Structure 1
Amino acid sequence: MRFFVSLLFLLLSASTVAAPKADLWPYWQQYATSNSQKVDHSRWQRLLDKYLVVQPQQTLFRYSRVSDGDKYELDRYLRDLAKLNPHQLNRNEQFAYWVNLYNAQTVKLILDNYPLSSITKLGGFFSFGPWDEKVLTINGKALSLNDIEHRILRPIWRDPRIHYVVNCASLGCPDLQPDAFTASNTERLLEKSATRFINSRKGVNPQGNKTQLSSIYEWYGNDFGSTVQLQKHINQYRQGASITLGKVSYDYNWSLNDAK
């Protein structure tokens, strides 16, 4: 029995390497070119202000400190987003909508199941995490977190920096940003997120003649391009000496980004 459980864990862990491909869900392509409607993300911002802890190499979340009142505020924020029709938003508002929705829903999943050591403990017995579970309904369509990331954000915007702004509540993940996304700050936050991750040890960690990279660059290699293209991308944001991607290893820490 112990052997079976160990083998199952290894198989599930290995499946994370075969990350979902960008597979467009055409329904979500529609947008309003001239609509100036703005989405209110202030509730999400207040939770970030109150519970996010920004450290030099890592941001953490005070899950254990979140009050019942603030859990209600998070639920209300998600319900308000679910009432909106993203088709009626312009492209910039849509991007902020989907990123904030993904990150806020991830925090809710952790709070609903807290305490736990890793988000990978969620989901069914044969699941590695909750990402395929239908956890939201938008425009009458049941959505999973994987739907938002891999069927909406990645194929519509085709920007590798998306991987730096959707947060999986893990220490190895690019940090949850202290600012909620809006139509006006999206480009600044994308650049800030890329810079912060690439200059963190969990993102890019030169070790002599070797470089340890986040597994994100392995799982989503198609989004970052060839080794030469990835090297150029990394050096664009590096604040120290440029790196050369020769001998490369990959690592990822699935422990919860919990501020104890």
Structure 2
Amino acid sequence: MSEVDSITKRAIKSSLLIAGLIMLSNTVHAFEHQHTEFTKVLQNVVVSDDKKQTRVDYAKLNANPDPLNAYLASLSAVSEQEYKTWSDMQQLSFLMNAYNGFTLKLIVDNYKIFASGEAESIRDLGSILRSPWKKEFFTLLGKKRHLDGIEHGMIREWFSYPRIHAALVCAAVSCPPLR
């Protein structure tokens, strides 16, 4: 093989590699709108005391947080541009599940203080000056966010559905059941 043929082969291989990388970088993140992974997490840790009230087994969730963290990572990977291409119902479902999932994460991330008895309620994770729902501890649609931002700055501002509160679970006994 001549030196020219060798250089040509390397140029073709490099061009194919570059083309492949460009195609991969332009691939849109395909979010799974059925929220199957979150459903599995909930099926594993939500316990129904009766038909009206549910409880989360936080000890069980704390012992195996990886499935929840993987699901939340998939939410955080969604760009604002991708989100804007979805239907209203897909957007609303995404935000409600993000709120509920990141609420679970807030409790799990602070599980030790609950287990030790230092905290009894999600409210104990805040202070006089800042509620726990105002803590910025996750990224959503490319920005650092807090739970109040999802509920009041996004869901309630962007969607006019009076029953929204029944689907948002704030990890308090007074909240609606987590389904």
TM-score normalised per structure 2: 0.71
Residue of structure 1 equivalent to 2:129 = 126
Residue of structure 2 equivalent to 1:168 = 170
Q: 2:110 aligns with which of 110, 113, 128?
A: 113
Q: 1:57 aligns with which of 52, 60, 63?
A: 52
Which AA in structure 2 matches 1:149? E
1:97 paired to 2:94: yes
Counterpart Cα distance in 2 of 1:120 and 1:78: 22
2:132 match: secondary structure: coil
Going by fraction, where is helix more abundant, 1 or 2?
2
Which AA in structure 2 matches 1:126? L
CA shift for structure 1 position 152: 0.9
The answer for unaligned runs of 5 or more in structure 2 is 1-29
8 A Cα contact 2:135 2:147, kept in partner: yes
Counterpart Cα distance in 2 of 1:105 and 1:45: 14
Percent identical pairs in the alignment equals 31
CA shift for structure 1 position 111: 1.0
Change over 3 Å in CA distance of 1:112–1:132 after alignment to 2: same
Residue of structure 2 equivalent to 1:238 = none
1:142 match: secondary structure: strand
Which AA in structure 2 matches 1:154? R
Report which of the two structures shows the higher radius of gyration computed on alpha carbons.
2
Counterpart Cα distance in 2 of 1:149 and 1:126: 19
- Encode CA deviations 1:88-134: one digit per residue, 9 max, x unaligned: 3221111110001100100111111122310000124533x311111
